[in-house]
Amino acid sequence: MSVDFLDLPKTDETQQATPEEYYFSKSKQEWIMVSDMSDMHVRRAFKRILRMIRLGQLIELSDYNGTDKDMIVTEIESIESHCAKLKEKILSTS
């Protein structure tokens, strides 16, 4: 029996270390590590985030406690920077 493995170089993007991400669980009313979530819960959370993006409401008002303003502004600036790069790439290829 032959077992073939995909030998990816250590420089491949999929092989790089990634920081732990947290997700706000509405049912538990706390931030939980994504890596601790079951597949079903990750899918449900992903669908919730996609819906929030589509509706233009990335941060639900019920989750905002008024103390995370600097962190939220930093995240918004990162998203805006990413969107600008995407827009530049799309416009340069057309």
pLDDT in tens, 34-93: 888 888 988 988 888 888 777 776 665 566 666 777 877 887 888 888 889 889 888 887
* HSE value, Cβ hemisphere, 13 Å, CA-based, for 67: 1
| pLDDT at site 3 | 57
Count of other CB atoms within 10 angstroms of residue 42: 13
Residue predicted with more confidence, 65 or 22: 22
Residue ranges covered by each domain of the chain: 19-63, 65-94
